[in-house]
Amino acid sequence: MFELAAAFRGTQIGITLGVLGLAIVSLMVTHSGPDIVLLACLGLLLILGVIDPHEAFKGFGNEGLVTVGILFIVAEGIQQTGAVSYLVQQLLGRPRSSASAQFRLMGPTAAMSAFLNNTPVVAILMPILDDWAKKYRLSVSQLMIPLSYSAILGGLCTLIGTSTTLVVNGLLIEYAGEPSLGMFEIAWVGLPCCLVGIVYILLVSRFLLPDRKPAIDPLSDPREYTVEMVVDPSSPLVGRTIEAAGLRHLPGMFLLEIERSGHILPAVSPNERIQGNDRLVFVGVVESIVDLQRIPGLTPATDQVFKLDSPRFERCLIEAVVSDSCPIVNMSIREARFRTRYNAAVIAVARNGQRLRGKIGDMRLLPGDTLLLEAHPSFAALRRNSRDFYLVSQVEGSTPVRHERARIAGWIMIGMVVLVTFLGWSMLYASLLAAGMMLATRCVRGTEARRSVDWSVLLTIGAGLGIGQAMEVSGAANFVAHSLIGLAGSDPLMVLTIVYGVTMVFTNLITAKAAAVLIFPVALETAAALGVDFRPFAIGIMIAAAASFATPIGYQTNLMVFGPGGYRYSDYVRFGAPLSVILWAIAVSIIPHVWLFQ
């Protein structure tokens, strides 16, 4: 009977390790997402009877997983109000070289990532960085990996910096019975790793990072619109020069003239100071007009946008080409009563590359004119087949930013950090309150909140937790733990070194969260067998799993910048693998002195 039980247990261990190996290979050689691969492997373990349904899906109720999902909503509120983007643009300034640009980029990125989940931080900064690179003629391939890496490094400094640290902290509470880590407790090791990592990037990137164009290089839009913006008297731009306000080097756009108190200022000097109620006339492409609307204190010159039926935060920008059968051809926009007729406001007009002068409302429309409209998204569906327009298309990511709520969103984020840091709140409760406040104050709408949650990340975490549970239930974790002890002997430091190394390899092959939840039960069993405190091993797993640099698939931010930066798989190996090894040595040197084994 005992032999049958042992054989059955051996079979379960073999199946579990085999499925784990299948997951690793699938993530390495296939194009399937980690959520699909890990869910499939979890289902296989369930079908083969290694775990029951309760054990398989227990991970989807993990506190860390729920917290990650809620933090996506908080980050969306910050993004929708522009609480970060304009500040970042001011901090980035005007670099003189790629090294200067990297230095300006990595400090703010690491600082923000320490208090915001680094995936939303990179998502917010990518379009800003792309425009910044175009504006100053920098190679975007010299900036995108530093953006991802600095976000990862900054996330190592606090408990909420990465979803991986939150997941491991949840495991520490739930499975190890340990108290939660403090907000800044991992900074003892995370901050040195962050500083060394930034220095490494600054010193080595010029030699190891490629200098090439992005793989995703959209065709440039030849249409140049003429658009007027008014400076609000309370705008932070008032009193600043054109140069200092960042209005001189807009990518694909230039400031044609300023209308001030009825007088035209042509050939605007970069040292010209902006005044309240100035009408700024720009000529440029549609992407830059979207960026203009994100600058606080600048609003479209036409007052028609404030007379539309729908609230501004529900609108978007739409391009429409006037047809020769349009009833308002040869009429001015004002005469045609465009807003009343179409429930849309004309923001800008493009005409065969001509630079149109005069106010928007006085422009006479001709067949073939391309209008940039602010309207409800339903306009595109209603007018797509209309004889009035040849072509109607929505401009992606053009919803006006709710600048008036930026201060509210900023205070909500600060309040969340204060509750966790100084009042000892659980990150789950603090993020729940913050997300609720974002929704209550209309910093983010319900539809935006639902859309902001990256379900693939949550499914990856939940499925990885289920496979980790299978490792523990089947005895595979205990088997691997004893194998590790056999390699390292009874020296806890050597075991910590091996646990960190295995986690580091796994996180670059099967994603950070999956590696963390798979190695956690192994480390827990190992610590118990050695009779030492488990906390140093938990910290090692946190750092090793979160510090994923050697492959694009290891961490979502690496994958996010892969296409826009024009990178190859080998770029990450060449540049990130040495950094991973350096942080391995730093972490293993520091951890035992802060969190003692005994």
Q: Specify the CATH number for the domain of residue 378.
A: 3.30.70.1450
Contacts (Cβ under 8 Å, ≥6 apart) of 49: none
Among 208-222, 396-410, 431-445, the range with the most confident prediction by mean pLDDT is 431-445
Helix (H, G, I), strand (E, B) or coil at 146: helix
* The residue type at 24: I
**Which one, of 23, 16, 66, lies nearest residue 45 by Cα?**
16
Q: What is the pLDDT of residue 215?
A: 43
CA–CA separation, 440 vs 215, rounded Å? 41
Write the DSSP assignment of 281-344 as a string of letters: EEEE-HHHHHHHHTSTTEEES-GGGGSSSS-GGG-EEEEEEEPTT-TTTTSBTTTTTHHHHHS-
Note whether residue 476 is domain-resident: no
In this structure, of 58-72, 144-158, 333-347, the range with the lowest mean pLDDT score is 58-72
The DSSP element (H or E) to which 257 belongs, if any, is strand 253-260
334 and 420 housed in the same domain: no
Contact 89, 132 (CB under 8 A): yes
**Mean pLDDT, rounded, for 225-231:** 83
Domain count, the chain: 2
The answer to the question of residue 142 being in a domain is yes
Is the same domain home to 409 and 333?
no
Distances (CA, A) of 386 to 308, 373, 441: 20, 16, 38
> Is there a single domain that holds both residue 205 and residue 337?
no
176-190, 346-360, 432-446 — which one is most confidently predicted on average? 432-446
Q: Which two tokens stand for residue 263?
A: 């007088």
Q: Answer yes or no: do 334 and 431 share one domain.
A: no
Answer yes or no: is 272 within a domain.
Answer: no
105 shares its domain with 192? yes
How confident is residue 220, by pLDDT bands cut at 50, 70 and 90? very low
**Distance between alpha carbon 141 and the CA centroid of its chain, in Å?**
18
Do 205 and 147 share a structural domain?
Answer: yes
Looking at the fold, whether 103 and 198 belong to one and the same domain comes out as yes
Region 353-361: what's the mean pLDDT? Answer: 73
pTM assigned to the model: 0.68
**Do 80 and 190 lie in a common domain?**
yes
Q: Write down which residue in 452, 484, 518 finishes a domain.
A: 452
Cβ neighbours of residue 528 closer than 8 Å, sequence gap 6 or more: 534
Instruction: State how far Cα 494 lies from the chain centre.
Output: 36
Query: Which range is least confidently modeled, 88-102, 218-232, 316-330, 366-380?
Result: 218-232
Assess if residue 148 is contained within a domain. yes
Q: Which domain holds residue 430?
A: 68-215+404-452
DSSP letters along 10-28, please? HHHHHHHHHHHHHHHHHHH
Q: Pairing state of beta strands 253-260 and 279-284? A: antiparallel
On whether both 185 and 321 belong to a single domain, the answer is: no
Confidence of residue 221 (pLDDT cuts 50, 70, 90): very low
Which tens digits make up the pLDDT trace of 528-551? Answer: 888 888 889 999 999 999 898 988
> What are the pLDDT digits (tens) for 498-510?
889 888 887 876 6
Residue 83 has pLDDT above 50, yes or no: yes
Dihedral, CA atoms, 554, 556, 562, 567, nearest 10 degrees?
Answer: -20
Choose one of 412, 430, 452: the last residue of a domain. 452
Residues 108 and 184 in one domain: yes
Q: Does 211 map to a domain? A: yes
Residue 229 resides in a domain:
no
> Partners of 266 in the beta sheet?
257
| 536: in domain | no
In terms of domains, do 389 and 334 share one?
A: yes
Distance CA 565, CA 568 (A): 9
In a domain, 526, yes or no: no
Per-residue pLDDT tens over the stretch 233-250: 888 888 888 887 777 767
Indicate whether 136 and 118 sit together in one domain.
Answer: yes
CB 526, CB 498: distance < 8 Å:
no
- Tens digit of pLDDT for each residue in 130-172? 767 776 778 888 899 999 999 999 999 988 788 788 888 888 8
Counting beta carbons within 10 angstroms of the beta carbon of residue 520, is it exposed (0 to 12), middle (13 to 18) or buried (19 or more)?
buried
| Per-residue pLDDT tens digits for 255-292 | 888 888 878 887 788 888 888 888 888 887 777 777 77
